[in-house]
Structures are given as structure tokens and as C-alpha cells.
């Protein structure tokens, strides 16, 4: 049997298997973190769209720069978007 630094081929195979399992776990953790980050980004984006919609409704009929109250906060009406 071939010996490499005191390890048999079976020992090398076992070491390789352990390293592959560790890499697989790291990949699973990375995938889970990416999914959580994506979901968090969607939640923040949804919230900002909802706030923008409330501001748009409150500013309807007002001029840019007028102050309106949205969810108990004073907000300045934005400039109209140019098409």
C-alpha cells in the first residue's frame, strides 16, 4: 500500500471527504445568508414604496415644497417628475 507522510490512501480519502463536507456546509450557510439578505432588501423596498405612496396621496393638489403630514411626520412634497 502506498504511504504518504504516514497516511494510507484510505486516510487521504477520509480527509478529502471531511474537507468536502466542510465546504458543503459553508456553501449552505452562504446560500442561507444570501436568501436572508435578499428577503430583507425586499422588506425595506416594500416599506419605502408604501411610504412614497402615502406621500404621493398627501401631496395631491399641493405644490412642490409644501409641507404635509404623513403618518404623524411632517414631510415636504417632492418636485413633480418630468416625463
Model pLDDT, residue 70: 84
Query: Does residue 1 belong to any structural domain of this protein?
Result: no
Segments in the chain forming alpha helices (H): 9-59
Q: Largest Cα–Cα distance in the chain?
A: 87
Going by C-alpha positions, the residue among 79, 82, 55 that lies closest to residue 69 is: 55
Is residue 81 included in any domain, yes or no?
no
| Number of structural domains the chain divides into | 1
Residue 3 falls inside a structural domain: no
pLDDT tens series, the chain, 83 aa: 444 555 555 666 777 788 888 888 999 999 999 998 888 877 776 555 555 678 888 888 888 888 888 888 888 888 876 55
Domain that holds residue 22: 9-76
In a domain, 29, yes or no: yes
Amino acid at each position: 500500500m502506498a504511504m504518504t507522510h504516514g497516511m494510507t490512501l484510505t486516510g487521504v480519502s477520509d480527509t478529502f471527504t471531511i474537507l468536502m463536507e466542510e465546504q458543503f456546509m459553508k456553501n449552505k450557510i452562504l446560500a442561507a445568508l444570501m436568501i436572508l439578505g435578499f428577503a430583507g432588501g425586499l422588506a425595506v423596498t416594500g416599506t419605502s414604496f408604501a411610504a412614497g405612496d402615502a406621500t404621493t396621496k398627501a401631496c395631491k393638489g399641493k405644490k412642490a415644497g409644501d409641507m404635509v403630514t404623513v403618518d404623524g411626520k411632517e414631510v415636504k412634497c417632492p418636485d413633480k417628475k418630468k416625463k
